[in-house]
Amino acid sequence: MSAAPGLGLFRGAAGDLCRESLRRGGYGSLSAQKASQLVKKGRKLGIISASSSAGSSTESARDQNGGAALFPLSSVQSTLHRLRRAGIIACLRTTSADVALDAARAALDGGLTTVEVTMTTPSAAKIIDCLVREYPSATIGAGTVLSMQEAEVAKQAGAKFLTSPVTMEDMVRAHKDGPVLFIPGTMTPTEVVTAHCLGACAVKLFPVALLGGVQYALALQRTLPHIPLIVSSGISLDMVEPYFSAGVMAVIVSDAVFGKAALETRDYSKIKTLASAAASKCLSRSTET
């Protein structure tokens, strides 16, 4: 039996747990004792939240046909699963809070499911809070998080994930056990591995276009297949599929959806159209996997 999409997130002992649950058809076909053992093992590994139990109805990994839930995920792994499934993260950076909110709405209305609001955007926390309330099924995060204070503000606003252009040891360690996913920025193989060893579940490769683009990402992903990579900076919509083919977990796009001219003229219909085009790339990817 082939592995279910998304189970590539879990390797080693965690992967053994996934395969055990998959082989047996999920918790439902296990004895109460065995199900309890699997849940305890999952909690110890950090892939199942402490509040979950066998038979929990929380968000779960599913089989390759999108069928029955296999096991409940921790909040961090749930977010990681969502980002992998989404494929594209639309990064919003602007100097106007009003424009930022309406632009984010246009992107989500256009079909994208994941938006990142940079903390350099005026009233970023308020924008995140509004989006979380208005689009409960979307995954809203904060970008350019450079301090613990900014991280706390973003989390209080409801951000499900945080990204940074750099790796700060204290930030990675503070978020290692959740409940909010922190994705540090890296450039070199050494930085990627260091961030992962500190506890990062996924690592951002930034600025990928200046580092060598698709070929650089491909080389790193082949060398370090156990580390989920999210690429960022200078990525056009035409380059999304080549990055997917290189094996990266997700792609962060900015100007490709939130174009400078569209933001300046408040052309939200243009942003919505670009978001729809981006969403179609994700749909194409999901049907191929």
Task: Identify whether residues 85 and 69 lie together within a single domain.
Answer: no
pLDDT tens-place string over residues 221-246: 999 999 999 999 999 999 999 999 99
Residue where a domain stops, chosen among 52, 73, 94: 73
User: What pLDDT shows up at residue 287?
Assistant: 53
Question: What CATH code is carried by the domain that includes residue 247?
Answer: 3.20.20.70
Contact indicator for 191, 199 with CB cutoff of 8 Å = no
2 located within any domain: no
105 has a pLDDT exceeding 60: yes
5 located within any domain: no
Q: Residues with Cβ < 8 Å from 45, sequence gap 6 or more? A: 13, 14, 17
Contact indicator for 81, 6 with CB cutoff of 8 Å = yes
φ, ψ at 173 (rounded to 5°): -65, -40
Task: Identify whether residues 61 and 96 lie together within a single domain.
Answer: no
User: What is the pLDDT confidence band of residue 94, given thresholds at 50, 70 and 90?
Assistant: very high
Task: Identify whether residues 199 and 252 lie together within a single domain.
Answer: yes
User: What pLDDT shows up at residue 30?
Assistant: 41
Residue where a domain stops, chosen among 57, 73, 89: 73
Active-site residue, selected from the candidate residues 116, 155, 272, 281 = 116
Task: Identify whether residues 118 and 256 lie together within a single domain.
Answer: yes
Q: What percent of the chain has pLDDT over 90?
A: 71
204 is catalytic: yes
| Lowest mean pLDDT, pick from 62-71, 164-173, 278-287 | 62-71
Active-site residue, selected from the candidate residues 150, 155, 160, 204 = 204
Q: Which domain holds residue 19?
A: 10-73
User: What pLDDT shows up at residue 7?
Assistant: 35
163 located within any domain: yes
24 has a pLDDT exceeding 60: no
Task: Identify whether residues 68 and 88 lie together within a single domain.
Answer: no
Task: Identify whether residues 176 and 61 lie together within a single domain.
Answer: no
Report the C-alpha dihedral over residues 15, 176, 234, 277, rounded to 10 degrees: 60
CB atoms within 10 A of CB 259: 16
Task: Identify whether residues 85 and 140 lie together within a single domain.
Answer: yes
Peptide bond into 184 cis (omega under 30): no
Task: Identify whether residues 89 and 156 lie together within a single domain.
Answer: yes
112 located within any domain: yes
pLDDT tens-place string over residues 134-159: 999 999 999 999 999 999 999 999 99
Task: Identify whether residues 50 and 106 lie together within a single domain.
Answer: no
Query: Which helix (H) or strand (E) segment is 45 a member of?
Result: helix 32-45
3 located within any domain: no
pTM: 0.77
1 located within any domain: no
The domain tally of the chain equals: 2
134 is catalytic: no
What does the alpha-carbon distance between residue 32 and residue 223 come to, in Å, rounded to a whole number?
41
Residue where a domain stops, chosen among 37, 53, 73: 73
Task: Identify whether residues 119 and 53 lie together within a single domain.
Answer: no
Task: Identify whether residues 90 and 204 lie together within a single domain.
Answer: yes
User: What pLDDT shows up at residue 256?
Assistant: 98
Instruction: Kindly state the average pLDDT of the residues 197-213.
Output: 98
Task: Identify whether residues 23 and 85 lie together within a single domain.
Answer: no
